[in-house]
Structure 1
Amino acid sequence: MSNNPFAKLPEVAVFQVTSRDIAEGLPLPAHQYSSGVEGGKDLSPHLKWSGAPEGTKSFAVTAYDPDAPTGSGLWHWAVIDIPAGVTELPTGAGGEHGDGLPQGALQLPNDLRLKQFIGAAPPAGHGPHRYYFVVHALDVEKIGVDPDATPALLGFTMLGHTLGRAVLAATGEIK
């Protein structure tokens, strides 16, 4: 598919991310869909990463749908300032209060302006969408964006600080 969200970004080291909830190229399970969709629970998936580049001082996690019919995709989740010693987020860490996030980590508002994970909700009949869950290894302990910044601004700010990227892309569709 077109619209690769990483095509024009600088190349960085690649490391691994896995999940007990989602798998590369496979459909998202119902609980990773929006609560407005039958069976949806807005539960962020479990994510576990390894092999981050030397010099990593923090991580950020983002979830993005480049196929949303907006002209700019849709940001479902953004978490910043995850300490370098953390290598896993549990299922549901992206809830409204971020109770499953490590101390010091913050959720930025997603494209619905909610500081939480919002699940997939592609328009019925729009075809399959790709959902990129990305762990960004950064060379700073704090990325320094305002807690109300957009995920797009976060992405721009991370440009000069990203040492590596771990990507897990699942799909979703409502027929």
Structure 2
Amino acid sequence: MLHHNEAHREGLETIRKLINGIDTAMLTTVTDEGLVSRPMKTQDVEFDGDIWFLTKKDTSKYYELLHNAQVNVAYADKSYVSISGTAEIVQSREKVKEFWNAMYEKMLETTWEDPNIVLIKVKAESAEYWESGSVFKQAKFLFEKLTGKETDTKMNDTVQL
């Protein structure tokens, strides 16, 4: 059991490092017609297996999540991370206030007290990543491809969260 806990901790730490500082993610939801992705502002909290977004109840994503909570959250910057999980609608004024700032007031044209404002909490279940930001890792990866000799460098991996 200790091995599983260590792998879980290492997986969380890897994903935390890779998505740290990336403000916008693509949230993919399931509709009757298929999949829909839209950019969302990730809340600035340390990744612990949960990802938080603010939204309004009167949006299609809100109703899509009520119908099917399975989602994907994708990040792209110096590395690429694709997180699969389950979304939960959280209706907590205190939590909304915690994340609220002046940008939301202008963008959403309301205040944090508006009962139409809710949170989406995504519980990450697994993540796949492609780590392309490290020149050292890129060089080792190229070495592997050119020589056929394996190193301990992983540019791509899947972790269970």
TM-score bucket (shorter structure): under 0.3
Which structure is higher in helix share? 2
TM-score of the aligned structures, taking structure 1 as reference length? 0.24
Which structure is higher in strand share? 2
Highest RCO, 1 vs 2 (Cα 8 Å, sep ≥ 6): 1
Pair member with larger Rg: 2
